[in-house]
Amino acid sequence: MYKTYHSFRWFPFFLILLFAISCNTGTEKETPVKEPSESVTEFVKAPPFSGDSAYFFVEKQVNMGPRVPNTAAHREAGDYFISKLKEYGARVTAQEFQAQSFDGKTLQLRNIIASFYPDQQKRVLLAAHYDSRPFADKDDERRDEPIDGANDGASGVGVLLEIARILNSNDTPPPVGVDIILFDGEDWGNDSNNYVPLPENLDTWWCLGSQYWGQNKHNPQYSAYYGILLDMVGGTDAKFYREGYSMEFAPKIVNKVWQTAARLGHNEYFIPANGGTITDDHVYVNKYTNIPMIDIIPTDPVEGSFGDFHHTHDDNLSIISRETLQAVGETVLHVLYNER
């Protein structure tokens, strides 16, 4: 997940490798999030979300080993997700495809799409990536070895699996259909300064699964009212600023999510201030499908980073917080149940 400071907007995103935090990060003044008036909309209480259960799902993935494409652990993880989502009553599609990596590998990849309440016309898309980084290129040691990816990959999937479990076990569904996509091939990108020419079908060496799905949807007619991407949502004391492309694509959805978090008392996690522009899977969902998708992702606007763990062997279970998982999952679940 390469980061470059910039002040560009939409047009140069295909030049950014994965994550680009803008140079004005940290200069935005904090804007209070106004809670919706009780007289305007009644706040519907969603079923309880369990941070402990989400943590279990994160731990389950880490115990499989690094989920690096073309490895047994990667295949095992995909099989587990398919089995679990079917167990939770979803209609599941496995989208198998191949992609070339920047270092000349042919990657066997699989996007996993799960649909709940398929007869509901109005739909919300939730997504995360499940692959982990094949190298610890920001570490001082064992740089050529894959990382656990407890936060960078497993945390978002853990939250979504817990949401899937709740949708299946609760007698009262949300007023919308829910689709979950677990994207593959997000994290095998070129983090070096050496430019590698891209094939015609790719905008970047990162986000391979979302690029493929965006150009080859599992159902050509599929659309959603909006989408929410979860990336690195389990770190201790994580701070989620309003990401720049999300504010450009779907500011009303950003406000809806941050207002919901405020109403639930999660202001310490969801910061009501603008952060940097970050090229992530949501960019390609927006570009290729016109589904307005936002990104919940932690940043340090002062340091311009995702934290010291990022792309190192420190991205393990020791940095995962049940409280952070709880705050994110509870917020997203309440957004679903309060959709109109």
The structure tokens listed for 190 are 């070129």
31: pLDDT confidence band, cut at 50, 70 and 90? low
> Across the strands, what pairs with 227?
125, 293
Q: Is the pLDDT of residue 6 over 60?
A: no
Burial class (CB in 10 A: 0-12, 13-18, 19+), 335: buried
Tell me the residue ranges of DSSP E strands in 39-140. 91-100, 106-116, 123-129
161-170 mean pLDDT: 97
What pLDDT does residue 9 have?
Answer: 36
Map tokens 């007619």 to a residue: 221
Q: How many distinct structural domains can be found in the chain?
A: 1
Q: Per-residue pLDDT averaged across 133-141, rounded? A: 96
pTM attached to this predicted model = 0.90
Q: What pLDDT, on a 0 to 100 scale, did the predictor assign at position 39?
A: 39
Asked if 116 and 164 touch (Cβ cutoff 8 Å), the reply is: yes
CB atoms within 10 A of CB 72: 10
pLDDT reading at 157 higher than 80: yes
Domain range enclosing 64: 13-337
Q: Please, which pLDDT band fits residue 3 given cuts at 50, 70 and 90? A: very low
Q: Collapse the DSSP code of 194 into the 3-class scheme (helix H, G, I; strand E, B; otherwise coil) and give the result.
A: coil
Residues 216-229 have pLDDT tens digits of: 999 999 999 999 99
Average pLDDT rounded to a whole number, residues 232-248: 97
Task: Report pLDDT for 4.
Answer: 31
In-domain check, residue 94: yes
41 pLDDT band (50/70/90 cuts)?
Answer: low
> What's the confidence (pLDDT) of residue 19?
40
The answer to the question of residue 38 being in a domain is yes
Q: What is the pLDDT of residue 305?
A: 86
Q: Does a structural domain hold residue 3?
A: no
Close Cβ partners of 281 (under 8 Å, ≥ 6 residues apart): 127, 129, 183, 186, 207, 209, 210, 229, 231, 295
**Does a structural domain hold residue 4?**
no
Residue 96 has pLDDT above 70, yes or no: yes
Domain annotation covers residue 180? yes
12 has a pLDDT exceeding 50: no
DSSP 317: G
Across the range 223-249, mean pLDDT stands at 97
Examine residue 256 and state whether it is found in any structural domain, yes or no. yes
Cβ neighbourhood burial of 297 (10 Å; 0-12, 13-18, 19+): buried
The domain spanning residue 87 has which CATH number? 3.40.630.10
* pLDDT tens digits, 278-336: 999 999 999 999 999 999 999 887 887 899 999 999 999 999 999 999 999 999 999 99
Pull the structure tokens for residue 104: 């000349």
Q: Please check whether residue 196 lies inside any domain of the structure.
A: yes
* Cβ-proximal residues to 227 (8 Å cutoff; 6+ apart), any chain: 124, 125, 126, 127, 282, 285, 291, 292, 293, 294
